[in-house]
Chain A
Amino acid sequence: MFNNNQSLQQNPRLSFTGWFTYGWLMALLSGIAPVMLPFMARSQGKPVAASTLETVKAGIREAAEKTLTISSSFVQEKQMSMIREKIVSKGKFYFKRERKLRWEYVQPYSYLIIIKDDRISVRDDGKVNQFSIQSNKVFREVNRIILGSIRGTLLSDEKNFRFDCYETAASWIVRLKPLSAGIRESLSEIVIWFDRNDYSVNHIELIEPKGDLTKINFTDRKTNQPVGDEMFLLP
């Protein structure tokens, strides 16, 4: 991850938008992503009828409102365009309402992010960094997108995302296209798979403009089970 807590606010050239602008905009314009996407994504499903859409949105909203805690294992797979190699990492994550998140990679490296209210703690290879989420726009946005994806609350963010909904036998699939230039420079699309029965999120895909793709698959997910506050303290 990126940690420039000392200078983000001092140097306007290093704002979140600035960091992403040029490369991602050029990537979007290059047209590679639209060509690659159909070959990379999971089954896309068929578009949801307008009459069903409100039901899906309400179901997702209701599930998000009822969610107090989440704990889950995850497998993350980064696929790089034009390289057959994948980077696979595994870990666990814990969420506790309102703003506590523990996102921990255990394989093939050890990397831990804890977000507790306005503080971010990162432990990388034994080294610990702590800073305010307000001082780091990148983390603030990443936090909002990741948490919003897991909880499904990103759907109500119509200011920053346009979404389309699809369905398969097992899932509701929501494709979120960022409207804000700042996000669009780093992500061309976020695709979230919700379980058709309980509206829990079981799969996320983050698609970059050049066609690189990060898939996060959640397993062993537990909702509203006790999660102790000690999970959000650095060991």
Chain B
Amino acid sequence: MRCFYSLSLLVALLAASCVRLRPPHLARDRSAITRQFPVSFFDSSGSGRLFKATMDIKNHHLTGVLMIKRMNVSVCRVVFASEIGMTFFDLELGAGGSRVVSCFGPLNKKFLTNIFITDFTVLTGINKVNVHKQYLQDTTRKLVYSGKAGSWKIWQSYSSSGDTLLSQSANSSLFDPVIISYDHYHLGFPAVIRLYNPVPGMTFSLKLLD
């Protein structure tokens, strides 16, 4: 059994070390950064966004609804519940720190909840991002920005016109990298969002309901 855990840890470390968050083929653009960075889709205080959500990790498949609500300038709430109403997890994300309000037993593992916090902290943009560098992707002409938000290092890729966020990747440690892609924009909001955590091989797929 000890051998199995050591092997699992080794595989996780190998997987973590192979994850590449920086988009490929980037050329540094040294012109002045003029745009606001990053885009946050959950800025409007008081209103919640509701998604149909699925979470896949190994053989497990959870479906339900996920609500993201900005409580105030510095706090965001994320609740994932099954269709019949049972809460899977409830997170309170803050610029000054985050906490797990409640979590369904088997999901309530430090390793997983840390990943949930990374995923939704990056998605909600609750931490102000300080831009460090700007790039142009050679092959796609996408605009790419790198920066830091709290303890997270973040990469964001925009369309060549610079007005549409296509993806972002982030991590705060070797174990919590996340890659988020945005699709099917409607009225300036992505109707489809996919979060992928390479280390545990976990995916959240979100489809906007409202």
- The interface of chain A, by Cβ under 8 A from chain B, is 1-4, 6-7, 13-14, 18-24, 27, 76, 78, 80, 82-83, 85, 87, 89, 103, 105, 108-109, 111, 124-125, 129, 142, 146, 185-186, 206, 208, 210, 212, 214
Chief secondary structure at chain A's binding surface: mixed
- B164 within 8 Å of A (CB atoms): no
Chain A residues contacting B63 (CB-CB under 8 Å) are: 1, 3, 111, 124
- Min CB distance B98 to A, Å, is 15
What are 28 A-B interface contacts by the 8 Å CB criterion?
A1-B62, A1-B63, A1-B64, A2-B61, A3-B61, A4-B59, A4-B61, A7-B60, A13-B106, A18-B106, A19-B104, A20-B105, A21-B105, A23-B104, A27-B102, A76-B84, A80-B79, A82-B101, A83-B79, A85-B67, A87-B65, A87-B67, A105-B83, A108-B50, A206-B85, A210-B87, A210-B90, A212-B90
CA distance A186 to B85 in the complex (A): 11
Number of interface residues of B (CB under 8 A): 35
> Which listed residue (B65, B105, B209) contacts A19, Cβ 8 A?
B105
Chain A residues contacting B82 (CB-CB under 8 Å) are: 1-2
* Contact between chains at A214 and B210 (CB < 8 Å): no
- B142 within 8 Å of A (CB atoms): no
* Contact between chains at B60 and A4 (CB < 8 Å): yes
CA distance A210 to B85 in the complex (A): 13
Chain A residues contacting B87 (CB-CB under 8 Å) are: 80, 208, 210, 212
- Min CB distance A1 to B, Å, is 5
> Which listed residue (B61, B85, B106) contacts A78, Cβ 8 A?
B85
